[in-house]
Chains A and B, each alone.
Chain A
Amino acid sequence: AQSVTQPDIHITVSEGASLELRCNYSYGATPYLFWYVQSPGQGLQLLLKYFSGDTLVQGIKGFEAEFKRSQSSFNLRKPSVHWSDAAEYFCAVGAYQAGTALIFGKGTTLSVSS
Chain B
Amino acid sequence: DAGVTQSPTHLIKTRGQQVTLRCSPKSGHDTVSWYQQALGQGPQFIFQYYEEEERQRGNFPDRFSGHQFPNYSSELNVNALLLGDSALYLCASSPFTKTVRVGEGAFFGQGTRLTVV
User: How long is the Cα–Cα vector from A100 to B95 in the complex, in angstroms?
Assistant: 10
Min distance, Cβ B31 to any Cβ of chain A, angstroms: 4
Number of A-B contacts (CB under 8 A): 75
Contacts of B101 in A (CB 8 A): 98
Which one of B4, B35, B40, B94 lies within 8 Å of A98 (CB-CB)?
B94
Is A27 in the interface zone, CB < 8 Å from B? no
Question: Which chain B residues in 84-117 approach chain A with CB under 8 Å?
Answer: 90, 92, 94-96, 100-111, 113
* CB-based contact B96/A97 at 8 Å: yes
* CB-based contact A101/B48 at 8 Å: yes
With CB as the reference atom, state the residue of chain B lying closest to A52: B102
Q: How many residues of B contact A (CB 8 A)?
A: 34
User: How long is the Cα–Cα vector from A98 to B33 in the complex, in angstroms?
Assistant: 11
Question: Which chain B residues in 1-49 approach chain A with CB under 8 Å?
Answer: 4, 6, 31, 33, 35, 40-45, 48
* CB-based contact B48/A42 at 8 Å: no
9 pairs from A and B in contact (CB 8 Å cutoff): A34-B105, A42-B110, A49-B103, A98-B94, A98-B96, A99-B106, A100-B56, A101-B48, A101-B58
